[in-house]
Structure 1
């Protein structure tokens, strides 16, 4: 009976951790949608909305915050984002409770579980600061990176739980990351941060046209103002505060970052393509990058339509997952000549897990 209970517990842990991965993607996309429809300040306070747990009527909203008129649609979008984010926190707590009895077992990822709790609490704080600091770009960017960190921790927890359920105590040596993997990961983090900086400063269409920007290969730009990280806290940053040349610099920085990331991924793929176990993941990584680059170009040429901007964020999430899974499988590979598996295509980067 104890073994049966433990098996049930493990199945539940595996299921919930995988649900956490999928649900985190949903939370990130709902958060981005909230921002894209300018609903980030739909509720002027936190954690409630005009002092309530649900969106109140106009009269109560006016009594609570007379300087912030109620827009019902935007307020509900903001609250829906908060509801789903809170559900994600409850899921983390459930995983901790279920794993409590297994935390002393060799190989159980208790440290990953605690790290996930810490990051989800920090992410909640960033959510509060996003509202109270009125969409301050630094906080908005960190909020996006925090969401991606939660996603990666859920993924890592799920993979470690699968390893633990298979009887691996973690004593088997894994390969350490080489500098090439580190460079690719660092460039991806920087590009994600740049993407958040573009969005939070409303620089998505600061450059018109591609591959040139406003008809020039190197237009007039204000780099110091565009990347001035000590912006004043206090003004409402809805629709941005920077002038045109600063936004152009941010946009161009994002384009340059995309180019550098693409070069790093091509070099990474060329270096490790001979390894059969890692090859499908590297192919998926390059395919996802190509799709993401295409979405970025389309956003510029089509003037940033809502659905396409949301899809571009989904591409960033997919690229993050692909690199994480490529790293995992590279570290797990034994280095022996392995038989290639047929039918493994680029799309497996999102399907195998």
Structure 2
């Protein structure tokens, strides 16, 4: 194996490591929130002015109004350590890929996009602390983590294709199928549901609706939609445990349920429309199956009053849906073989 091939193999491996590591960082971040450790350290990037959690006496000198809770401080710092390691991994990918940036087909632009997003994600991590868990920032921080994971995954797939040399069909660039409106709708619904899930978590509305399928014993309980989705909340109060009243939180929770219904219908329609394509069928089946599991986890969280382990599983389910959607999109956009292009039904669906 030549040196360039060896370096390329390393890039492929590191990008896959990045996918797995990012999932771990996301789950550690969610665990940090679930144990109320988001403000375990009142400053950033250190903790009470230090790179490791200090003792209670030094912490008191630094922040007299924020007594040290050692467990929460360590949880927060562990999250920062693993997130920083992820940033170093992105930098390594960019540096290792620099000499390949001019080769046709190498995803250099995607590597740079990943670097920009990971830097923005670090900034949102700082704002999460300095703005005292402002729900807008917390939700964007979650979406940013999912974006980093998605970029790692897409980079891995692009690097694998580049390493295999499978960039052309018959000596000409292989055409990629464009996304149809139905694929776009499914992705938008998934993004919306992820944002709603983050909004539920950041406003502590996970058990605002008790019971299922009804909410607080009613099919349509008292809600305050304007306050629940008021995106210009005041910056400054400590948002630990939330600031919204019960009706506003109920509206948020109910919105997440309705978003789940819309997502489910969108995925079912997508699967029905493209089920005839054999290479898509496994991914579409996995998407619908993953959604069903995620729905069950959401219901269980409500009925069991949001236990920590089940809330983490629900987040893991959301991550899995993002991965499955990305892989399904990748499979859809892959060039269609000659035998497939000759099938009339395939032509009809591809242009839908």
TM bucket, shorter chain: over 0.9
How many matched pairs? 336
Q: Unaligned stretches of 5+ in structure 2?
A: 341-352
Q: How do 1:3-14 and structure 2 match up within 5 A? A: 4-14=2-12
Give yes or no for the alignment of 1:331 onto 2:329. no
Q: How do 1:157-176 and structure 2 match up within 5 A? A: 157-169=155-167, 171-176=173-178
State the partner residue of 2:131.
Answer: 133
State the partner residue of 2:210.
Answer: 208
State the partner residue of 1:120.
Answer: 118
State the partner residue of 1:89.
Answer: 87
Give yes or no for the alignment of 1:224 onto 2:222. no
Distance 1:169 1:59 in 2: 61
Distance 1:54 1:168 in 2: 48
TM-score, normalised to structure 1, is 0.94
Distance 2:166 2:126 in 1: 40
Distance 1:206 1:296 in 2: 13
Distance 2:92 2:57 in 1: 39
State the partner residue of 1:177.
Answer: 179
Give yes or no for the alignment of 1:291 onto 2:293. yes
> How large is the Cα RMSD of the aligned pairs?
0.9
Aligned-pair CA distance for 1:168: 3.2
Distance 1:103 1:337 in 2: 34
Aligned match for 2:235, one of 216, 233, 236:
233
State the partner residue of 1:111.
Answer: 109
Deviation by residue 1:229-266 (Cα, 9 ceiling, x = unmatched):
00000000000000000000000000000000000000
Runs (4+) of structure 1 exceeding 6 A deviation are: none
Deviation by residue 1:177-235 (Cα, 9 ceiling, x = unmatched):
00000000000000000000000000000000000000000001000000000000000
Secondary structure of the residue that 2:292 maps to in structure 1? helix
Deviation by residue 1:296-326 (Cα, 9 ceiling, x = unmatched):
0000000000000000000000001000100
Aligned-pair CA distance for 1:165: 0.4
Secondary structure of the residue that 1:274 maps to in structure 2? coil
User: Which sits farther off after the overlay, 324-333 or 68-77?
Assistant: 324-333
Aligned match for 1:142, one of 140, 143, 147:
140
* Alignment check: 8 A CA contact 1:34 1:77 kept: yes
Secondary structure of the residue that 2:48 maps to in structure 1? coil
State the partner residue of 2:259.
Answer: 257
* Alignment check: 8 A CA contact 1:116 1:154 kept: yes
TM-score, normalised to structure 2, is 0.94
State the partner residue of 2:18.
Answer: 20
Aligned match for 2:154, one of 150, 153, 156:
156
Give the direction of change, closer, same or farther, for the CA distance of 1:45–1:236 in structure 2 (3 Å limit): same
Aligned-pair CA distance for 1:169: 3.8
Secondary structure of the residue that 2:2 maps to in structure 1? helix
* Alignment check: 8 A CA contact 1:14 1:161 kept: yes
* Alignment check: 8 A CA contact 1:195 1:254 kept: yes
Distance 1:306 1:200 in 2: 15
State the partner residue of 1:242.
Answer: 244
Distance 1:135 1:257 in 2: 24
Distance 1:10 1:276 in 2: 31
State the partner residue of 1:75.
Answer: 73
Distance 1:263 1:30 in 2: 31
* Alignment check: 8 A CA contact 1:21 1:151 kept: yes
Distance 1:89 1:96 in 2: 11
Distance 2:335 2:282 in 1: 13
Distance 1:135 1:109 in 2: 35
